[in-house]
Amino acid sequence: MTTSSNALLSLDHISLSFKGVNAITDISFAVRAGEICALIGPNGAGKSSLLNVINGVYQPQRGSVHFDGHAYRRMNPYHAAHSGIARTFQNIALFRRMSVLDNVLTGRNLHRRSTWLEQTLNVGRARSDETVQRSYAEVVIDALDLQRYRHTTVGTLPYGVQKRVELARALAAEPRLLLLDEPMAGMNADEKHVMAGYVLDANTQFGVTVVLIEHDIGVVMGLSDHVVVLDYGKKIADGAPAEVRSNPDVLAAYLGTRH
């Protein structure tokens, strides 16, 4: 089941270790195009490390990652971005001193067609390019209901909104695959519900394949089409929410230890 036919992303026997300490051992799974896949597991189960492997922050010692057809062992975040992988971080990684609009626009940087010189002198493709990028950014802002914060400095926004801005910046890049590292961390039930709505919109309206890490079982089960459960760097379950929920290992290893 490592590489299913219409898999957008598939991991092949990935192993990762830091100075001999195994973070991930021999994990394989596939994510179908258009689905929402949730990675769950206790803290330190290697979820974030896995995300970091997928967009090239870490290089796995063994195994390979396939992203729409192409297999790669060596990857770095820069190339990941250019091949259509966007992500958000567990502890928000926004450009704090820039406005929401500017943050979202930086997400468009891959799609700029005009050079900085053209933009500065406002000649050639610059003007049309600007309108295209700006209007797409505005579409994202509209979709995530950020209009009222458009010109607010990100650093001054409440936590929940910042999470949303980070999602917006990722969406603005028109990614094929969107990696969300605990998009609902530290939110109350209502906020989680709202955020889940936005993630769903991203998936349905913008047609983005989503891989997300989330602790709240309720949210995960409601949101995702496909759940992968990790424990101590190993995969202990993989399948539809229903199956996973009934899986005894999961109940033992994961739900048992959940607070």
Residues that bind other proteins (CB under 8 A): 52, 55, 57, 76-78, 80-82, 86-87, 89, 93-98, 102, 105-107, 109-110, 112, 116, 119-122, 134-135, 138-139, 141-143, 145, 147-148, 150, 161, 169-170, 173, 193-194, 197-198, 201, 204-207
Q: Which is nearer to other proteins, 73 or 79 (CB)?
A: 79
CA atoms within 13 A on the CB side of 79: 12
Alpha helix ranges (H) inside 107-188? 116-121, 126-143, 159-172
What DSSP string runs through 125-147?
Answer: THHHHHHHHHHHHHHHHHHTT-G
CB of 51 to other proteins, least distance (A): 9
From residue 104, give the alpha-carbon distance in Å to each of 56, 58, 90, 134, 143: 22, 26, 18, 9, 12
Of 2 and 106, CB closest to other proteins: 106
> Which is closer to other proteins, CB of 216 or CB of 238?
216
CB of 190 to other proteins, least distance (A): 9
| Cross-strand partners of 67 | 9, 70
Burial of 82 (0-12, 13-18, 19+ CB in 10 A): exposed
Yes or no: say if 205 and 237 are a contact pair by the CB < 8 Å rule. no
Residue closer to other proteins (CB basis): 31 or 86:
86
Kindly report the backbone phi and psi dihedral angles of residue 59, in degrees, each rounded to the nearest multiple of 5, phi listed first. Answer: -100, 125
Q: How far is the CB of 70 from other proteins (least distance, A)?
A: 17
In whole angstroms, how close is the CB of 218 to other proteins at the nearest point? 16
With respect to other proteins, which residue has the nearer C-beta, 46 or 107? 107
The least distance separating other proteins from the CB of residue 128, rounded to whole angstroms, comes to: 14
Shortest Å, Cβ 165 to other proteins: 12
Instruction: Closer to other proteins by CB, 105 or 210: give it.
Output: 105
Angle at which helix 189-204 crosses helix 159-172, to 10 degrees, equals 10
Rounded Cα gap, residues 201 and 84, in angstroms? 18
